[in-house]
Chain A
Amino acid sequence: MTGAAQLWDEALAAGKLLLQRPVCGGAALFPPREFAPGTGEELEWIEASGRGTVYSVTWIQRRPPEAPYNVVLIDLDEGARMMGRVEHVTPDTLAIGMAVQARIAEGPLVVFDVVPAGER
């Protein structure tokens, strides 16, 4: 027997971004839980498409010459929200509402790349 959080960790280490959703339907959720929040219903695992949209973004400033880094909230297409980081962007090229795609980077850690307009 393993708790949901450890199962999620193990899947991520195996290269899969998992989400959960209630077996009788409804939006996916994150972080992983033992049962559906609010209802207590049974959950099933699904593999996330990784597609998402930037819900909010902040750029954390650092002492120069260190560049600022971003922290974002991402709405995944399946309905869950998670914190993340968008890579290879600047404050001028990242905005709320942009389409992003999840990627599992070293760590393992879920990070996001901007999906160019028209590619989605």
Chain B
Amino acid sequence: MGDHFPRGKTAVAGAATFGVGEAPGFSAMEIAARATQLALGDAGIALSEVDGLFIALPDDLFGALSFAQYLGIHPRFTDNNRAGGASFMSHLVTAVMMLDAGYLDCAVIAYGANQRSSGGKLSTPARADRWDGPYAPMYPLSFYALAAARHMHAFGTTREHMAEVAVAARAWANTNPEAFAKGPLTIADCLAARMISTPISVRDCCLVTDGGAAMVLVRSDRARDCPQPPVPILGAAAATWYNSLSQAEDATITAAAESGPRAMAMAGVTPAEIDVVQVYDAFTINTILFLEDLGFCAKGEGGSFVADGRIAPGGALAVNTNGGGLSCCHPGMYGMFAMVEAVRQMRRQAANQIDGAQLALAHGNGGTLSAQATVIFGASDTI
């Protein structure tokens, strides 16, 4: 046993975002609550029907309890899983299994943060541990920098390759009304950007925005009666190999190399069949690492894979079609937005819709490349 997954038995019936970009005057909880209200409206499901709550908030360790109180409901089950930006994909795994088992009937996964309006920098209670901390690495940035430097050393990946990721994300954002960062961005702009922790410059970093998102999950028979096209969940897997990147066996290989193949095996699909890919691009190196680890190219070839606009609009593979954390939004834990964009693509409602897309992959990352979780969504006519 292990990795038994109820392929297609559950579906996303509602999805929404709220306050993407700037939401001055709103608390994280208020943003999450508004996103939940919109997602429930989208699903045509009443708040009183929600019996499972899954949430990770930036600074509330008992987030789901506070959220239940705020919403005024008495859920059968709450989950505050904190795997950083991969939390929400992990929430989804639990929610799907509980829905399929009949323990829950309607699960909400939600997130909200106001880090742009409240402080202007990444809001996280996480920090380097006692073994790494004395050397004053920037948390989490320097850990990604160490992985990037090693990837460059091992495979000849360049800053130009990393810049390609940022430029592609911006190109997608430029035609997404919801995206926060718009305007021209060139490889030269990225290479000239202020260095922060070598080889990561400010243009290799995700945004600092506000924003929230929520999804409503039900069993597929119920989803078919909801107003929106149901988005079946075909596979989902989480993997953790360490917390601090300093303890990675190989800093160029993440646990996405486990979560991706497991999720795709559950779904019965291969990387070549995936039409749209949404990965958590906290830093440009992430996209390169995850495209390799998820099997879209061989280990070490991520740099050349993203070169020449191959993941930009019109390229060989549609990656982060909303503009990603680099140019759409990044309220601190982006995973939720990767899933909502995948859902929009499967419903044929995305701002940058990929024609005929039947399979979408959403990949979350948390900590210092630590927590990895992958979800495969289908379109309503995929199964």
Contacts and interface: CB of A to CB of B under 8 A. Distances in A.
Interface in B123-155: 130-132, 134-138, 142, 145-147, 149-150, 153
Contacts of B145: 58
B137 A56 contact: no
B146 A71 contact: yes
Interface of A: 5, 30-31, 55-61, 68-69, 71, 73, 81-85, 91, 96-97, 107, 109
A57 B145 CA distance: 8
Nearest to A84: B135
B195 A56 contact: no
B246 A60 contact: no
A109 to B, nearest CB: 5
B134 A109 contact: yes
Contacts of B194: 61
B246 A83 contact: yes
Most B Cβ at <10 Å: residue of A30, A56, A60: A56
Contacts of B244: 83
B251 A55 contact: yes
Interface of B is mostly: mixed
Contact of B142 (A31, A55, A60): A60
Contact of B247 (A60, A61, A81): A81
B66 interface: no
Interface residues of B, number: 26
Nearest to B131: A31
A61 B193 CA distance: 13
Interface of A is mostly: strand
B382 interface: no
A55 B135 CA distance: 16
B200 to A, nearest CB: 8
A68 B78 CA distance: 45
A55 B137 contact: no
A56 B251 contact: yes
B138 to A, nearest CB: 6
B150 A56 contact: yes
A57 B136 contact: no
B136 to A, nearest CB: 7
Nearest to A85: B135
Nearest to A58: B145
